[in-house]
Structure 1
């Protein structure tokens, strides 16, 4: 129990930039562009500081901190509502069935339809863990902490939550889906378009992207093969999302064809199963259960793993290190869910 999640601060810029440089591209929510990251941290601070509990297009950035040293080892993000300032575009895969009586044959063709169906949803994204830390459940800590934050501030989030997974690309960062489709209309490579989107937003998509459905069979095999497939590095993230109750419903990213998975917010496992309980002090006893525990509102939000057990009065006792990382005193309210 050596790491905790906390709200990002403007002075995390250097650490966030260092993480962004390690992503290998394709992370729209974490571009290796210092000025853009600084603006994102400003937006995050404004989201944490906003008065009122209604849903809005807030951005919340969190940092994975090694508590003893203060080193930043990962990050993740939550968006209160997508599509508030610019359209939120996706491709939706649909099927068109056509029958020829003369040929006595039925054809079922899949099409990509440009849609904004998911506007109004909340989004979890921007998760990146330092390559040297991919052990010990830290990726799971990053991912699930977001759901505890959502439950702590439920009125700020929508009825649906989505997650976009990075699609398949080669070692040079080129996407076969982009090259076969959108790249033909934008006159730029996938890395160029991805960077432009991260910095300037999505309006250029509305300006140039064809709005007519695209027959998937007209795309080359290299593009068809990756539609709805996550990047190999994202397969573990997809499994974590599926375990939380997210499912793929035919939506894919218009840039790289990666899957967009969706869940009813209140049915996300960590949201549904987390319970509020008072902190009853520290103690380590046989039978302790390993839990994910959070406390604090907005910019004071903190989350970590803890060895915990309920005392006779119904409060929750934590191991001393977890209590220290959470900065709690007896009587403070916790949000807790079993680690497994």
Structure 2
């Protein structure tokens, strides 16, 4: 069975909609709404059609396709510059230290401050793999294909890149963080707010969210204990991000309190290590396992394969060449698996 990452198409809508219904909520970039998904696919098509080489506000949607059946079994997204159409809000967890001379006592209080510090960053997000395919490293292929795409189109992305991880969601589909913080001001459940945000953007946060810092000690235990924690299904993703050089720098999502990971784009391991080489040989006995990629924009393809590197040339295995649709003399990008 062979899988390849490719750009999304308009006829991927039903596949994405069926996967969106499996997310369980809290997945803003993949809402279970056909109109919203169709709009996202249209936006992505426009980004892929743009032949320019400058940083503008764009969204690229990639999909994981089973090349034997044609079924779409996963998806991921790249946002080139967040916070351009409406503010990109985060909570920043800070510590306020105060001292009383009369009591000879120092008190340190953790506070959540509403900020737009991450505005202008690129973002990797929207990663979802069908539950039946969560084996064989396909989640890793989805995740790292985005970094190869960035390396291949570097001028289209910002100097910093973020990744938002879904926070803790309870068995009812609610968020302890939302219930303990923002839910008190909005009069809507987490699911309602998350869906509204996915469809309409988060300007309503700017309109209604109190701008004063929130003292963590004043939150209930359920809300306080989940700040900065990823959903159990996102722990592996957090480890993958850390291996790529992302770090948690005390930014959390305003809806569910999940961690926002941050890195310098050029320091992301798979961006820094990705190199283009000329395909010299298609060799069934090619050496080490690797991620292989070729093409630009609408022709982009990424898959697992094997490679042997010699100077400026590369040899790859038959399956990899077939999945990418490349032959001798074509350019192939790669990083070690």
Bin for the TM-score computed over the shorter chain: over 0.9
Equivalent of 1:330 in 313, 316, 328: 328
SS at match of 1:177: helix
SS at match of 1:223: helix
Higher alpha-carbon deviation: 204-213 or 95-104: 95-104
C-alpha distance in 2 between matches for 1:136 and 1:192: 35
Partner of 2:319: 321
Task: Give 5+ residue unaligned stretches, structure 1.
Answer: none
Structure 1 residues 268-308: Cα deviation after superposition (integer angstroms, max 9, x where no partner):
000011111011131122x7110101011011100001112
C-alpha distance in 2 between matches for 1:127 and 1:65: 14
SS at match of 2:261: strand
Partner of 1:268: 268
C-alpha distance in 2 between matches for 1:53 and 1:204: 33
C-alpha distance in 1 between matches for 2:333 and 2:81: 23
SS at match of 2:319: helix
Deviation at 1:183, TM superposition (A): 0.4
C-alpha distance in 1 between matches for 2:24 and 2:281: 44
SS at match of 2:327: coil
Partner of 1:257: 257
Deviation at 1:314, TM superposition (A): 4.4
Tell me, yes or no, if the aligned pair for 2:282 and 2:327 is still in contact at 8 Å: no
Where has structure 1 moved over 6 Å in runs of 4 or more?
none
C-alpha distance in 2 between matches for 1:139 and 1:153: 22
Mapping for residues 161-310 of structure 1, pairs under 5 Å: 161-285=161-285, 288-310=287-309
CA RMSD of aligned residues (A): 1.0
SS at match of 2:206: helix
TM-score by length of 2: 0.98
Higher alpha-carbon deviation: 217-226 or 273-282: 273-282
Mapping for residues 39-188 of structure 1, pairs under 5 Å: 39-188=39-188
Over 3 Å counting, the alpha-carbon distance change for 1:108 and 1:237 in structure 2 is: same
TM-score by length of 1: 0.97
SS at match of 1:292: strand
Deviation at 1:51, TM superposition (A): 3.2
Alignment: residue pair count = 337
